[in-house]
């Protein structure tokens, strides 16, 4: 559930490569473009009643919550608990287990985690740091010029979406990880300018990051047609989320290969910015 996103597609591909029978949920199966080995079924997390048939015979579910609030999450978790044997939930390392959350994004993830834990269904939580593929949102600016303008956020150990997927596959296929939470990060803490400079190096041309004042960013995102709830979540993240120096070895521990650096990600994705 979340199979058509940047992480979900890689999870599906890795499961297929390992010969694991895989079923993917999509709102529009005809447009999903999965490998022929994947069973694609119609369903929508916004319509929990549509999930029952899709879950028939399913052992483990990879759940990505794509919405900007938790409306309907309790109903989805209830359906999962009634029809699946276990769930692996993609959450966030930004969650603060000791107090209030810094912004709506970790707050939303913490609420979904709590629903899953209270359900009684076997679960594993994969808390991921900032996902490298978020930088694909800069592609239009980079194709058009040498300046990336956006909101500044506190540095974190940005993680390759492929590494998240590799960990997710281990958690989905090995039940010994049930009832545990894993924190997945990249190998070092980087800021927005570090990410832009990694892309610049991959492209072989100069780029720079220019942080926008929050009021200017709000106007820009509103003009671009972003949903209001998403805009407020992003601005709140920029204003309130603290720097994270968390770096874990989870990728290496579970997959046997070290987490890839943002420079590796940029080199792999250079064509997306040309």
Which domains, ranges and CATH numbers included, belong to the chain?
6-273 (3.40.50.720)
Q: If we measure between CA atoms, which residue out of 207, 224, 226 comes closest to residue 68?
A: 226
Torsion over CA: 5, 112, 158, 253 (sign): negative
Label residue 36 by pLDDT band (50, 70, 90). Answer: confident
CB 159 within 8 A of CB 250: no
CB 26 within 8 A of CB 44: no
Range from 46-50, 162-166, 243-247 carrying the lowest mean pLDDT = 46-50
Label residue 5 by pLDDT band (50, 70, 90). Answer: confident
pLDDT at 31 over 90: no
pLDDT at 114 over 70: yes
Structure token digits, residue 246: 């968390």
| Residue 145 CB coordination number (10 Å) | 10
Report phi then psi at 35, rounded to 5: -60, 155
What's the pLDDT at 27? 87
**What is the number of alpha carbons within 13 Å of residue 249 lying toward its C-beta?**
3
CB 163 within 8 A of CB 255: yes
* Alpha carbon distance 87, 178 (integer Å): 9
What's the pLDDT at 28? 87
* Alpha carbon distance 113, 27 (integer Å): 24
* Alpha carbon distance 169, 162 (integer Å): 11
Q: If we measure between CA atoms, which residue out of 86, 85, 125, 87 comes closest to residue 109?
A: 125
| Residue 153 CB coordination number (10 Å) | 16
pLDDT at 112 over 70: yes
Residue with tokens 């150990």: 157
Residue-wise pLDDT tens digits, 190-209: 999 999 999 999 999 999 99
What's the pLDDT at 99? 85
From residue 136, alpha-carbon distances to 2, 3, 31, 133, 204 in Å are 18, 18, 21, 6, 17
pLDDT at 134 over 60: yes
Alpha helices in the chain (DSSP H): 6-17, 51-54, 73-83, 104-118, 139-144, 161-173, 192-203, 214-223, 228-240, 250-255, 262-268
């Amino acid at each position: 559930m979340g199979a058509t996103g940047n992480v979900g597609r890689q999870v599906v591909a890795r499961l297929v490569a390992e010969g694991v029978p895989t079923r993917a949920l999509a709102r529009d199966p005809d447009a999903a473009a999965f490998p022929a080995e994947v069973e694609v079924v119609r369903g929508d997390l916004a319509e929990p009643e549509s999930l029952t048939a899709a879950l028939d015979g399913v052992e483990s579910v990879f759940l990505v919550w794509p919405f900007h609030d938790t409306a309907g999450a309790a109903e989805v978790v209830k359906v999962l608990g009634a029809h699946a044997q276990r769930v692996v939930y993609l959450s966030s390392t930004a969650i603060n287990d000791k107090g209030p959350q810094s912004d709506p994004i970790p707050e939303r993830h913490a609420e979904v985690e709590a629903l899953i834990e209270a359900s009684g269904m076997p679960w594993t939580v994969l808390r991921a740091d900032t996902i490298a593929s978020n930088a694909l949102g800069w592609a239009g600016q980079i194709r058009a010029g040498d300046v990336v303008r956006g909101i500044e956020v506190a540095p974190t150990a940005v993680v390759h979406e492929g590494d998240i997927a590799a960990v997710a596959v281990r958690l989905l296929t090995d039940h010994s990880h049930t009832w545990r939470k894993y924190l997945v990060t990249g190998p070092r803490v980087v800021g927005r300018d570090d990410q832009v400079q990694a892309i610049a190096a991959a492209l072989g041309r100069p780029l720079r990051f220019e942080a926008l004042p929050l009021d200017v960013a709000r106007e820009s995102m509103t003009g671009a047609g972003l949903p209001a709830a998403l805009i407020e979540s992003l601005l709140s993240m920029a204003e309130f989320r603290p720097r994270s120096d968390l770096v874990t070895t989870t990728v290496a521990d579970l997959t046997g290969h070290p987490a890839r650096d943002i420079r590796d990600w940029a080199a792999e994705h250079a064509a997306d910015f040309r």
